Amino acid sequence: MGKKKNKNKVSGAVKTAAKTEKKLANKLKKELANLGEEDIAKVIAEIEREEAKRTAAAEKVLPNPPTARAYASLTPHPTNNELILFGGEFHNGKQTEVYNDLLFYNAANGTWKQVKAPGAPPPRSAHQAVATPANKGELWVFGGEFTSPTETQFYHYKDLWRFSLTEKKWEKVIAPNGPSPRSGHRMVLLGRKLFVFGGYCDDGRECKYFDDLYTFCLDTREWSKLTPSGRGPTPRSACVMLPAGNDSLIIYGGFSRVREGRSERAVTHPDMFRLSARGTGWTWRTLGAGAARAGQAAAAPVCSARAYVFGGVADIEETEEELRGEMSDELKVLDLETCRWHPVLLRNASTETNEKTIQQATEQTEQTEKEEITVVTDEVFSMRLSTKAPPPGAQPAPPPGAQPAPGAVGGAGGRPGRGAGPFGRMSAALAAQRSQLYVYGGVLERDDKQFYLGDMYSLDLHKLNEWKTIIEQPTLPDWFGSDSEDETDSASETDGSEDSEVSGD
């Protein structure tokens, strides 16, 4: 008889992996000790315990606007003329601070208030939030990430939270079979279900992108993983996802890293897809491709067949081996029924123009005079649209004699202090509340530096005349990071931070 096999025997590969894991853990402990940092999981657990001790909500009006940040959520209040700002992060090149403050902006009087409520979530950025008028108003928050001050540690969440806007109380919703930990994902509300798509997770050794799709029923409080038919989006984060009615959604663009052998290649996606309900199932449909862009902010007004998309970053090829990220300051409108893009042309902008701009505008106008022009009207606003829409990313020229749209600097760097509207950026927060569109914060990349912004603007969607500055950005924040491109590249190879700015949105 042969020897009986030991079912509990551990293979050499498993032993090697265990040893490697132990060595990495010990190395991390030493690094944290040298930096004076605690283990990030312990920090988060302690924060959650402290937040749970709060017994009653406290409100206070803020004397100053919120601090600069990116990767925050800005959500229209479902019943009041307010905006809800939650979380986000700020990085100055040396340290990162992550927030869990819950702030309300009153659009009528322009004031901010902070609400500290019992059982609040731990700090996070690159999460997603959705509000619904059900049960007198609810805010739902899923996922995101927490970063240690030195960005030595990253923690990705898979938790789901509900905030009652009337009771002013947080609830951590425990439900099995949900998405894995992630940030940079997208979440929208269709009917009574939350739809969560994509995102990424970086454990310090591997960065994984997702293309999975989950739903959470607000009535039964159950997660379900969808497996639609058809070819859907590849794994990605930092994309645009918009609800189109109660039975479909649209996904456009995004960012990911694709492994090719032993190396990785950064990919900014240009494609667009529609997910639609078909009988008892769901189906993906490819809608073509436009400009490759990631980190855009998107918002859809209630009861409107249009959505707005602002900013983002696009890869500009300088050589065959080098790409440069260019910040966009474009504001475009997407017809959610036809999935066609249209430029938003402001009627009375106050920015100075020149003869070259007028000449270019005249040439474009003469070229498009033959196109059929339609006027689209709904309860929010009217817009003059050309039936021949430019592709995503195309920069429209204003009509002859008109001033160029505020912030139209070609997405190449921005103009702090001029008060002419939002300049180019990525990972900003965008929200449409009643007849107003709001832009807050984001990241401006310039000379290998990432400046986190704290400015805020509004645009009347009915008048479409000019941007109004709510919070001014007089100067860029101080930057304490390295100015050396070589040092930046070296650091990114060790801590995976090279793509964190885009992929984390």
* pLDDT value at residue 413: 37
24/284: higher pLDDT: 284
Q: Of all residues in the chain, what percent carry a pLDDT higher than 90?
A: 63
State how far the Cα of 173 lies from the Cα of 160, in Å rounded to an integer. 6
74-128 pLDDT, tens digit each: 999 999 999 999 999 999 999 999 999 999 999 999 999 999 999 999 999 999 9
* pLDDT value at residue 395: 37
Task: Enumerate the domain spans of the chain.
Answer: 30-174
For residue 364, what pLDDT band results from cuts at 50, 70 and 90? Answer: low
* pLDDT value at residue 378: 42
State how far the Cα of 136 lies from the Cα of 338, in Å rounded to an integer. 34
State how far the Cα of 159 lies from the Cα of 138, in Å rounded to an integer. 16
DSSP string, 345-397: --SS--S---HHHHHHHHHHHHHHTTS-EEEEE-SS-EEEEESSPPPTT--PP
For residue 238, what pLDDT band results from cuts at 50, 70 and 90? Answer: very high
Residue 387 has pLDDT above 70, yes or no: no
Low-confidence winner among 4-18, 427-441, 445-459 (lowest mean pLDDT): 4-18
145-166 pLDDT, tens digit each: 999 999 889 999 999 999 999 9
41-71 pLDDT, tens digit each: 999 999 999 999 999 999 999 999 999 999 9
The answer for 99, left when phi > 0, alpha when psi is -120 to 50, beta otherwise, is beta
* pLDDT value at residue 14: 42
User: 370-408 burial string, b = 16+ CB within 10 Å, else e?
Assistant: eeeeeeeeeebbebebbeebbebbeebbbeeebbbbbbb
Query: SS3 of 430, please?
Result: strand
Q: Of all residues in the chain, what percent carry a pLDDT higher than 70?
A: 72
* pLDDT value at residue 321: 60
Residue 502 has pLDDT above 90, yes or no: no
* pLDDT value at residue 491: 37
Average pLDDT over residues 242-246: 93
* pLDDT value at residue 433: 97
Residue 35 has pLDDT above 70, yes or no: no
Residue 400 has pLDDT above 50, yes or no: no
For residue 317, what pLDDT band results from cuts at 50, 70 and 90? Answer: low
CATH fold for domain 30-174 = Neuraminidase (2.120.10)
Q: Residue 210 burial (CB < 10 Å; 0-12/13-18/19+)?
A: buried
For residue 374, what pLDDT band results from cuts at 50, 70 and 90? Answer: very low
Low-confidence winner among 198-202, 212-216, 318-322 (lowest mean pLDDT): 318-322
Q: What is the mean pLDDT of the chain?
A: 80
Phi (first) and psi of residue 51, to 5 degrees: -65, -35
204/2: higher pLDDT: 204
**Which of 10-19, 211-220, 377-386, 483-492 has the highest mean predicted lDDT (pLDDT)?**
211-220
Average pLDDT over residues 184-207: 94
Identify the DSSP state of 15.
H
For residue 320, what pLDDT band results from cuts at 50, 70 and 90? Answer: low
58/351: higher pLDDT: 58
505/427: higher pLDDT: 427
- Is residue 243 a contact partner of residue 249, using CB atoms and an 8 Å limit? yes
Average pLDDT over residues 355-377: 43
Residue that the structure tokens 């690094």 belong to: 31
